[in-house]
Amino acid sequence: MSHPEFLPIQWKSTHLSLLDQRALPGKKEFLEIHTVEDTIVAIREMAIRGAPAIAITGVFGLTLGAKSKSGKTNSEEVDTLIKQVFESRPTAVNLSFALKEAKKRIEGKTDWESIQKIWESFALEMMVEDLKANQTLGENGVSLFPKDQSEFHIITHCNTGALATAGHGTALGVIRSLRDHGKKVVVYADETRPFLQGSRLTAFELMEDGIECYIISDGMSGWLMNHKKIDAVLVGCDRVAANGDTANKIGTYNLAIVAQEHNVPFYVCGTKDSFDLNLKTGDEIPIEMRKESEVTQFDFLKTSEGKYLLPEGKTAPIGARALNPSFDITKAKFIKNFITEFGCFVPGEISSRLKKV
Ligand code: MRU
Rounded to whole angstroms, the Cα distance separating 160 from 172 reads 6
20 is catalytic: no
Annotated binding site: 49-51, 89, 197, 248-249
Closest C-alpha to 94, from 275, 236, 255: 275
Atom of ligand 1 nearest to the CA of 89: 4
pLDDT band at 304; cut points 50, 70, 90: low
Give the model confidence (pLDDT) of 261-300 as tens digits.
999 999 999 999 999 999 999 989 999 888 887 877 777 7
Ligand 1 center from residue 342 Cα (angstroms):
20
| DSSP-assigned states of every residue in 17-76 | EEE-TTSTTT---EEEE-SHHHHHHHHHTTSS-SHHHHHHHHHHHHHHHHHT--SB--HH
CB atoms within 10 A of CB 332: 7
Task: Determine if ligand 1 sits within 6 Å of the CB of residue 156.
Answer: no
Q: Residues at the annotated binding site for substrate?
A: 49-51, 89, 197, 248-249
Report, as an integer, the average pLDDT of 52-75. 96
- C-alpha distances (whole Å) from 149 to each of 184, 287, 304, 336 are 9, 39, 48, 20
Compute the half-sphere exposure of residue 134: CA atoms within 13 Å on the CB side of its CA. 26
Handedness of CA 339, 156, 262, 331 (dihedral sign): positive
Domains and CATH numbers, the chain: 4-134 (1.20.120.420), 135-355 (3.40.50.10470)
List, in order, residues 6 or more apart from 117 with CB less than 8 Å away.
none
- Phi/psi at 26 (nearest 5 deg)? -65, -50
CA of 165 to the centre of ligand 1 (A): 9
Report pLDDT for 291: 85
Among 44, 94, 159, name the best residue to mutate to test ligand 1's pocket (greatest count of ligand atoms within 8 A of Cβ).
159
Pocket probe mutation, ligand 1, options 248, 254, 275, max atoms within 8 Å of Cβ: 248
User: What confidence tens digit (pLDDT) does each residue in 279-290 have?
Assistant: 999 989 999 888
- Give 95's contacts (C-beta < 8 A, 6+ positions apart): 51, 54, 55, 58, 85, 86, 88, 89
Q: Phi and psi of 172, rounded to 5°?
A: -70, -25
Among residues 20, 130, 238, 276, the one annotated as catalytic is 238
Mean pLDDT of 134-145: 98
Residue count of the chain: 357
**Ligand 1 atom at minimal distance to the Cα of residue 197:** 3
Residues above pLDDT 90, as percent of the chain: 79
Report DSSP state, residue 111.
B
Tell me the β-bridge partners of 31.
18
Nearest-atom index, ligand 1, CA of 157: 10
Average pLDDT (218-245) is: 95
Q: Give the model's confidence band at 313: pLDDT under 50 very low, under 70 low, under 90 confident, else very high.
A: low
At residue 78, the pLDDT reads 95
Asked if residue 356 has pLDDT above 50, the reply is yes
pTM for the model stands at 0.93
Q: How far apart are CA 196 and CA 218, in angstroms?
A: 10
Contact 56 CB / ligand 1 (< 6 Å): no
